[in-house]
Amino acid sequence: MAGLNKVTVDDISVKGKKVLVRVDFNVPLKDGVITNDNRITAALPTIKKLVSDGGKVVLCSHLGKPKNGPEDKFSLAPAAARLAELLPETKVTFAKDDTVAGDNAKKAVADMNDGEIVVLENTRFRGAEETKNGEGFAKELAELVDGEVFVMDAFGSAHRAHASTAGVTKFVKETAVGYLMQKEINFLGNAVEDPVRPFVAILGGAKVADKLNVINNLIEKCDTLIIGGGMAYTFLKAQGREVGTSLVDDTKLDYCKEMIEKAAKAGKKLLLPVDTTVASAFPDPIDAEISVEVVEDIPADKMGLDIGTKTAEMYAEAVKSAKTVVWNGPMGVFENPVLAKGTIAVAKSLAETDATTIIGGGDSAAAVIQLGFADKMSHISTGGGASLEYLEGKVLPGIDVIADK
């Protein structure tokens, strides 16, 4: 997987050609207003490159999870309007079209000049987008651009074999990845397959079940694996410790024992919390009575909700000498300021290291951005599920279908 050698937008000539670009404009909306436009700004380098090279750029994306065909609240109209604001020199047309690739879309594309943009309606307005028999829809999307060029730049959707992420490639002459995809492949792919060592992986989040294959794969690849978040308590219980009322997945205790043994056999360090921040219930209100207890002494009626101070220091120390760090999943209930200390400590230690630091999307990306450390990280992945599957060592369909160099 390392250094996947895919054709990129720098390898193709699009002058005078129609280019379908799968972007990730799945932005959060409140009452029709975009609350965070990161995903749109992240797509700009690829879009600008294709526009300045004289391509006719047709953008498609999903947004949210519409259930029964078109729903106004999931329209891509606000995303198209925001894109037009970000590219004032470029003509941006929104093709409102319930079938996504219907008459309005065809007319908008037919009227385009080189260096202009058409944004299509939400691909999930067509049920066929997500089905195995989405071939008809994939073909329609390809026909919009006369089967000329497809560029995949939506890493967050690359783990899904949908009509607009993978199916469409069967019906176009040229395929390439955009700059965003290229960056994800370089950082995540190389971190897992060919890391500069020492390589430290930090896994958090609530459930062991979500990270089974990631834990297994990373024990093989990394030098030190750090476990925090809710899933740490399943590991601690597997060691025979008392975890009070903490979140535990009893069906995964044997798995955790296996992983502890696997790490020991392979000579890898597996770090688990030595102390934990506890409260009597899941904290609501925010000023829940909390205390820090060593893991041997978690009271039977208390639950662990964040790593403790000694653990935070130990984890920060482990990161100091690293050359590559991958982090996926917060250390505690970071949305609550009282329980964010562990996550802040880990984020701070990553911000202060010289290592290549890769944040694997989802909650850890949200935490790093929210806590103000985003500009100190080498790479923050734009994909939650996609980055997890990449860290598991899976082949992602949206990458697999793109031509190799």
Q: Give the pLDDT of residue 38.
A: 87
Q: How many CB atoms lie within 10 A of CB 17?
A: 20
Is residue 363 very low, low, confident or very high in pLDDT (cuts 50, 70, 90)? confident
Give the least confident one: 28-32, 104-108, 189-193, 357-361: 189-193
Examine residue 5 and state whether it is found in any structural domain, yes or no: no
Give the mean pLDDT of 94-102: 96
Query: 68 and 210 share a domain?
Result: no
Query: 178 and 261 share a domain?
Result: no
Query: 71 and 39 share a domain?
Result: yes
Q: Give the pLDDT of residue 115.
A: 98
Query: 131 and 209 share a domain?
Result: no
Give the mean pLDDT of 383-389: 86
Give the least confident one: 123-132, 224-233, 346-355: 123-132
Write down which residue in 150, 183, 216 finishes a domain. 183
CATH number for the domain spanning 95: value is 3.40.50.1260
Single out the residue of 140, 187, 192, 201 nearest to residue 167, CA to CA: 140
Is residue 4 very low, low, confident or very high in pLDDT (cuts 50, 70, 90)? low
End-to-end CA distance of the chain: 14
Query: 207 and 353 share a domain?
Result: yes
Q: How many CB atoms lie within 10 A of CB 146?
A: 14
Query: 255 and 376 share a domain?
Result: yes
Examine residue 340 and state whether it is found in any structural domain, yes or no: yes
Q: Token pair 């062991």 is at which residue?
A: 208
Tell me which of 54, 147, 189, 385 is the catalytic residue.
385
Examine residue 230 and state whether it is found in any structural domain, yes or no: yes
Tell me which of 48, 96, 139, 207 is the catalytic residue.
207
Query: 112 and 36 share a domain?
Result: yes
Is residue 132 very low, low, confident or very high in pLDDT (cuts 50, 70, 90)? low
Tell me which of 362, 383, 384, 398 is the catalytic residue.
362
Examine residue 369 and state whether it is found in any structural domain, yes or no: yes
Residue 116, CA distances (Å) to 19, 56, 59, 84 in order: 11, 6, 11, 11
Residue 351 has pLDDT above 90, yes or no: yes
276, amino acid identity? T
Give the mean pLDDT of 352-364: 91
Residue 207 annotated in active site: yes
Is residue 131 very low, low, confident or very high in pLDDT (cuts 50, 70, 90)? confident
Give the mean pLDDT of 175-198: 92
Domain of 144, in residue numbers = 18-183
Q: Give the pLDDT of residue 60.
A: 98
pLDDT digits 0-9 by tens, 205-261: 988 888 989 999 999 999 999 999 999 999 999 999 999 999 999 999 999 999 999
Residue 3 has pLDDT above 90, yes or no: no
Query: 276 and 249 share a domain?
Result: yes
Average pLDDT over all residues of the chain: 94
Q: Give the pLDDT of residue 142.
A: 98
Residue predicted with more confidence, 90 or 5: 90
Tell me which of 39, 160, 252, 341 is the catalytic residue.
39
Examine residue 161 and state whether it is found in any structural domain, yes or no: yes
Percent share of the chain, pLDDT over 70? 98
Examine residue 243 and state whether it is found in any structural domain, yes or no: yes
Q: Give the pLDDT of residue 285.
A: 65
Give the mean pLDDT of 41-54: 97
Q: Which residues contact 258 (CB under 8 A, 6 or more apart)?
A: none
d(CA 405, CA 10): 11
Q: How many CB atoms lie within 10 A of CB 218?
A: 27
State whether the Cα torsion 183-186-188-191 is positive or negative: negative
Q: Which tokens belong to 337?
A: 């300021």
Examine residue 204 and state whether it is found in any structural domain, yes or no: yes
Query: 218 and 130 share a domain?
Result: no
Peptide bond between residue 299 and the one before it cis (omega within 30 degrees of 0): no
Give the mean pLDDT of 318-334: 95
d(CA 205, CA 342): 12
Q: Give the pLDDT of residue 1.
A: 43
Residue 362 annotated in active site: yes
Q: Give the pLDDT of residue 384.
A: 81
Give the mean pLDDT of 383-395: 87
Q: Which residues contact 236 (CB under 8 A, 6 or more apart)?
A: 243, 272, 273, 295
Query: 317 and 259 share a domain?
Result: yes
How many domains does the chain divide into?
A: 2
Residue 385 has pLDDT above 90, yes or no: no
Residue 283 has pLDDT above 80, yes or no: no
Residue 50 has pLDDT above 90, yes or no: yes
Residue 110 main-chain phi, psi, to 5 deg? -65, -30
262, amino acid identity? K
d(CA 94, CA 339): 43
Write down which residue in 161, 183, 205 finishes a domain. 183
Single out the residue of 112, 117, 116, 77 nearest to residue 98, CA to CA: 77
Query: 206 and 296 share a domain?
Result: yes
**Contact (Cβ atoms closer than 8 angstroms) between residue 351 and residue 377:** yes
Query: 169 and 202 share a domain?
Result: no
Write down which residue in 125, 151, 183 finishes a domain. 183
Q: Which three-class secondary structure string do you get for the chain?
A: CCCCCECECCCCCCCCCEEEEECCCCCCEECCEECCCHHHHHHHHHHHHHHHCCCEEEEECCCCCCCCCCCHHHCCHHHHHHHHHHCCCCCEEEECCCCCCCHHHHHHHHCCCCCCEEEECCHHHCHHHHCCCCHHHHHHHHHHCCCCEEEECCHHHCCCCCCCCCHHHHHCCEEEECHHHHHHHHHHHHHHHCCCCCEEEEECCCCCHHHHHHHHHHHHHCCEEEECCCCHHHHHHHCCCCCCCCCCCHHHHHHHHHHHHHHHHCCCEEECCCEEEEECCCCCCCCCCEEEEEHHHCCCCCEEEEECHHHHHHHHHHHHCCCEEEEECCCCCCCCHHHCHHHHHHHHHHHHCCCEEEECCHHHHHHHHHCCCHHHCCEECCCCHHHHHHHCCCCCHHHHCCCEC
Examine residue 10 and state whether it is found in any structural domain, yes or no: no
